[in-house]
Amino acid sequence: MRLQMYRHLQQLSPRFYARTRLGDVMSRINNDVGEIQRIAAETALAWVGNALFLCGTIAMLAWLDVRLFLVTIATAPLGVWLLARYRTTLEAEIATLRQRSADIGSFLIETLQAVKLVVTSNAQEREVARFRERNAAFVRALMSMQRLTYLSGGLPGLILSGGTGLVFIYGGLRVIRGEITVGTFVAFMAYQMRFLPPLQALMGMYANLATVRVSLRRVSQILDETVEVREAPTAVALPAVCGDVTFEDVTLSFDRGAPALDHLSFSVRAGEVLAIVGPSGSGKSTIADLLLRLLDPDRGVVRIDGRDIRTVRLDDLRRHVALVDQEPSILHAAIAENIRYARPGATDAEVNAAVHQAALDDFIARLPEGLATVVGERGMALSAGERQRVAVARAFLMNPSVLVLDEPTAALDPESERQLADGYEAVMRGRTTIVITHRLELARRADRVLEIDGAHLRQPHAV
Ligand SMILES: Nc1ncnc2c1ncn2[C@@H]1O[C@H](COP(=O)(O)OP(=O)(O)OP(=O)(O)O)[C@@H](O)[C@H]1O
Ligand SMILES: [Mg+2]
């Protein structure tokens, strides 16, 4: 189940991640699946044993004396009714508890990732107060659930044990009247004592179903999230591409009203270097996302070599089109591993060449462990420009037919920027490069500049 969730999460679009709290997803994949596992493991075999034991006991009780047996089970309907009612209430309590626990997780992930902001805004105490609030809400939910478990959870069991008292009184009377022997009564009571434990165990398992139901619901909420970008069953393999890219009347809206891209059309010839410029928020990064099918357009078509990319196998598309994201992701691993991420089989020589082309060699040479240096989580142990260049080296190593660079030099000094531009010109000679940039130097080097503004295209002009 965990694996299935993880696979599903990998397929969900940036839209999903933009509206979902990571802590909530983590709590579902960790805690909820964990609860289901725990209860499944505890219950799977135990219920068989208990059910068998209970059936045997019932058979013996009925065989020993039918009337006493009827008294024994007289209270059962009330107990079962109470149990069913209790389970509904318990389910609501458990759902609240899970949500509170997810709140804590989300809070921690968010504020610890933004710890610099918290400290520099003097917001430590404010965040501590918010944390305390969430903790208190969790404890309240926990206590409320525990109270319910102790107070009403024991009630059905209590009622059933009340039945034992009735059996004693009624059985005693029948012995006095001489209707049954003391031997039968003693035997009956011995079985009656064995009647309750398996019944109570089964009732506990039934109450556990409340937990399982809550967790299953929370898991299925994730599994039911629609996958926006799917590979068509008829998708064709694309062994090689020339690198012609066309956007035909592409429109895409996020759920905020005005479309981020509005009837956008442009094309890039194979081998061309196209710079895309335009103000912040004009939809440049969205173009990159569309080209890699992280999103699909609401209307219009994106083509590569004249082929609608929705008809192409996703892994082929993403092998031929490499993206250096505006905020590149760096993993907690050696720099070499980070660079090899999309092509784990690359040789050392190839990695070194990519390092050189991405203007990283001076930096690597200064590190005592060179390419084997492990960079911290999210690349925190790197400067912004170093992170960008590691991401560029990673894309160069993929040797793609189309390279999309989203603000690759935003954090670089002019000299490193020049080296990096030389690098991609060398790597991508004869192949297609789309470089999204605010920097004059990069736009100047392009064969053509495309200016977009407010989701529209301005007249393209040559430089
Ligand atoms: N997941 C999302 N949900 C809602 N709106 C979004 C989402 N992602 C992007 N947008 C909006 O779409 C518009 C285009 O965003 P995009 O990232 O493409 O801009 P950009 O041109 O790359 O800007 P910048 O130069 O600042 O990187 C923006 O107005 C942005 O707020
Ligand atoms: Mg952008």
- Compute the distance from residue 102 Cα to the ligand 2 centre, in Å: 31
Q: What is the pLDDT of residue 454?
A: 56
Task: Give the CA dihedral 77, 78, 80, 83, nearest 10 degrees.
Answer: 170
Instruction: Say yes or no to pLDDT of 444 above 90.
Output: no
Which ligand 1 atom sits nearest the alpha carbon of residue 438? 25
Listed residues: CB within 5 A of ion ligand 2:
285, 326
HSE, CB side, 13 Å, CA atoms: give it for residue 343.
Answer: 20
- Compute the distance from residue 336 Cα to the ligand 1 centre, in Å: 31
3-class DSSP assignment, residue 437: coil
Strands 448-453 and 402-406: unpaired
Q: Long-range contacts of range 144-149, CB-CB < 8 Å, 24 or more positions apart?
A: 144/93, 144/96, 145/90, 145/93, 145/94, 145/96, 145/97, 148/86, 148/89, 148/90, 148/93, 149/90
**284 in ligand 1 pocket by Cβ < 6 Å?**
yes
Q: For the chain, how far is it from start to end, CA to CA, in angstroms?
A: 54
Q: What is the pLDDT of residue 457?
A: 67
**20 in ligand 1 pocket by Cβ < 6 Å?**
no
3-class DSSP assignment, residue 55: helix
Q: Which of 29-43, 190-204, 302-316 has the weakest average pLDDT?
A: 190-204
Instruction: Say yes or no to pLDDT of 462 above 50.
Output: no
Q: What is the pLDDT of residues 77-94, one digit of tens each?
A: 888 888 888 888 889 999
Residue 367 structure tokens: 């590190």
**Crossing angle for the helix pair 124-151 and 76-113, nearest 10 degrees?**
170
Strands (E), 95-205: none
pTM for the model: 0.84
Residue 224, burial from CB neighbour count under 10 angstroms (0-12, 13-18, 19+): exposed
Q: What is the pLDDT of residues 134-145, one digit of tens each?
A: 999 999 999 999
Contacts of 335 (CB under 8 A, 6+ apart): 364, 367, 370, 371, 372, 373, 374, 375, 390
Which ligand 1 atom sits nearest the alpha carbon of residue 452? 21
Confidence band for 458, pLDDT divided at 50, 70 and 90:
low
Q: What is the pLDDT of residue 192?
A: 86
Domains of the chain and CATH, by start: 2-223 (1.20.1560.10), 245-462 (3.40.50.300)
Q: Please give the average per-residue pLDDT across 146-173, as a whole number.
A: 84
Q: What is the pLDDT of residue 427?
A: 83
Q: What is the pLDDT of residue 456?
A: 65
3-class DSSP assignment, residue 404: strand
In terms of Cα–Cα distance, which of 445, 392, 394, 448 is closest to 420?
392
Q: How many residues belong to the chain?
A: 463
**437 in ligand 1 pocket by Cβ < 6 Å?**
no
d(CA 297, CA 299): 5
Enclosing H/E stretch for 188: helix 182-223
Which ligand 1 atom sits nearest the alpha carbon of residue 282? 21
Confidence band for 155, pLDDT divided at 50, 70 and 90:
confident
Enclosing H/E stretch for 308: strand 307-308
Q: What is the pLDDT of residue 463?
A: 43
3-class DSSP assignment, residue 434: strand
The amino acid that residue 414 corresponds to is: P
Pair 192, 72: CB distance under 8 Å: yes
Strands 245-252 and 261-268: antiparallel
Confidence band for 175, pLDDT divided at 50, 70 and 90:
very high
Which ligand 1 atom sits nearest the alpha carbon of residue 455? 14
Ligand 1 atom 27, closest CA: 280
